[in-house]
Amino acid sequence: MTLPIGPARVRTAPASPEPILELRNVDFCYRAPRRSAAEVLGGSRLRKINMSIGRGKAHGLIGESGSGKSTIAKLLLGLTAPQAGQILFDGELLTPNRLAAFRLRVQPVFQNPLDALNPVTPIGKQIVAPLLVNFRMRSSDCQARLAAAISAVGLSGEILGKLPHQISGGQAQRVNIARALILDPEVLICDEPVSALDMTVQAQILNLLSDLRESRGLSLLFISHDIRSVAYLCSEITVLKRGSIVESGSRDQVLLDPKTDYMKSLLRAVPNSELGVEMASRSTPYSQPTEPRHVPAQR
């Protein structure tokens, strides 16, 4: 395994049209025994999922609770294996023996930032843990990368000695992103990364993700039930309903010209003023740095 030393690579965005991460005809169903309550509520059967995430693109995944969004995230993180179908990463089939290398390049950001941190370990140690685990580096060697990672997510150094219960939710989510970034991944799987945060913090995190995608050429899978944040961040959108994809396409196609009643009803449920304003100004490219900062409205 090569040691990723030095500044984060800046990948030249859409170099090849070939998608970086692809699901082909994936079927998945939770097995009956040892099914925890969370899985019963949150998980469902996935049927014939076909989806691809373009290199350097931000791909949104929308769906109501229980539609299988988080299950797709689990599949894409290699936390569980599909019963049928294939997951391709960078054109190669994802197999158990490629999982370790795959995980260095695909990192998650979870919904509940404080739960995703070990409550008894200082923040600094948690951020460098991926390096220590994967490359057997001494912790003194990680300092440069640690500093780079926390400055990339806009945190100051004093947070490193704190424990998770001493920081706020927004800071915790930044810590999670820093921990994901320290491995210098190519894809971030964001499973509802802002749902547990309050409104102003949501906007900050969305902007952070957007900036990171720009500056590092990251590909994002952004999973959310909130159409507005998906509309803000993503150029491609997939809509999931009860384990099947009902609509997929570019942002404008899906949002302005929905084909299914389901998507229409979803759009109607959003306070339309907000979305309408944004749609009206769609002539500007999606996430140019010059675009005025979006602050999601009160729900």
Partner 1 sequence: MSTAWTHEWTRNIFRSSKDRRDLRKPPQIGLYVAAIWIVGCLLIAALAQVISPYHPAQISLDARLSPPLFFGGTLEHLLGTDELGRDVLARLIYSIQISMLIAVGGTFISTLLGVSLGFFAAELGGLIDEGVMALVDMQAAVPFMMTALLVITIFGNSLALFVCLVGLHGWERHARIARGLALTARNRLHVTAARTYNASRVHIYARHILPSCAPTIVVGMTLGLTETVLLESTLSFLGLGIQPPMSSLGNMVGYGRDYLMTAWWIALAPGLVIAATAIALMTIGEALRHSGPRSASYTSI
What are the two backbone dihedrals, phi and then psi, of residue 249, each rounded to the nearest 5 degrees? 160, -165
Q: Which is nearer to partner 1, 99 or 269 (CB)?
A: 99
Q: Is 17 in the site for partner 1 (CB under 8 A)?
A: no
What are the two backbone dihedrals, phi and then psi, of residue 292, each rounded to the nearest 5 degrees? -60, 140
Is-contact 63 239, C-beta < 8 A?
yes
CA 232, CA 54: separation in Å to the nearest integer?
17
Q: Is 98 in the site for partner 1 (CB under 8 A)?
A: no
- Sole binder of partner 1 in the list 63, 68, 78, 217 (CB under 8 A): 78
Q: Is 21 in the site for partner 1 (CB under 8 A)?
A: no
Q: Is 32 in the site for partner 1 (CB under 8 A)?
A: no
78's tokens: 């290699």
Residue span 143-182 as binding mask against partner 1, x where in contact by CB under 8 A, dash where not: ---------------------------------x--x---
CA 240, CA 61: separation in Å to the nearest integer?
7
- Sole binder of partner 1 in the list 44, 67, 107, 238 (CB under 8 A): 107
**Least distance from partner 1 to the Cβ atom of residue 273, Å:** 35
**Looking at the DSSP assignment, which residues form a beta bridge with residue 46?**
28
- Sole binder of partner 1 in the list 13, 29, 88, 104 (CB under 8 A): 104
* Residues touching partner 1, count (CB under 8 A): 27
- Sole binder of partner 1 in the list 65, 83, 121, 215 (CB under 8 A): 121
CA 251, CA 267: separation in Å to the nearest integer?
13
Q: Is 138 in the site for partner 1 (CB under 8 A)?
A: no
- Sole binder of partner 1 in the list 36, 143, 151, 260 (CB under 8 A): 36
Is-contact 254 247, C-beta < 8 A?
yes
Q: Is 60 in the site for partner 1 (CB under 8 A)?
A: no
- Pure H helices in the chain: 37-42, 69-76, 99-105, 123-135, 143-152, 169-181, 199-216, 227-233, 251-256, 261-269, 272-280
Q: Is 287 in the site for partner 1 (CB under 8 A)?
A: no
Helix (H) or strand (E) holding 126: helix 123-135
- Sole binder of partner 1 in the list 3, 10, 79, 93 (CB under 8 A): 79
**Least distance from partner 1 to the Cβ atom of residue 264, Å:** 34
**Least distance from partner 1 to the Cβ atom of residue 110, Å:** 6
**Least distance from partner 1 to the Cβ atom of residue 188, Å:** 11
Torsion (CA) 220, 225, 227, 228 in degrees, nearest 10: -80
Q: Is 120 in the site for partner 1 (CB under 8 A)?
A: yes
* Residue closest to 105 by CA, chosen among 243, 11, 6: 11
Is-contact 206 233, C-beta < 8 A?
yes
Q: How many CB atoms lie within 10 A of CB 80?
A: 14
**296 CB-side CA count, 13 A:** 24
Q: Is 103 in the site for partner 1 (CB under 8 A)?
A: yes
Residues that bind partner 1 (CB under 8 A): 34, 36, 38, 77-79, 100, 103-104, 107-108, 110, 112, 115-121, 129-130, 133-134, 176, 179, 183
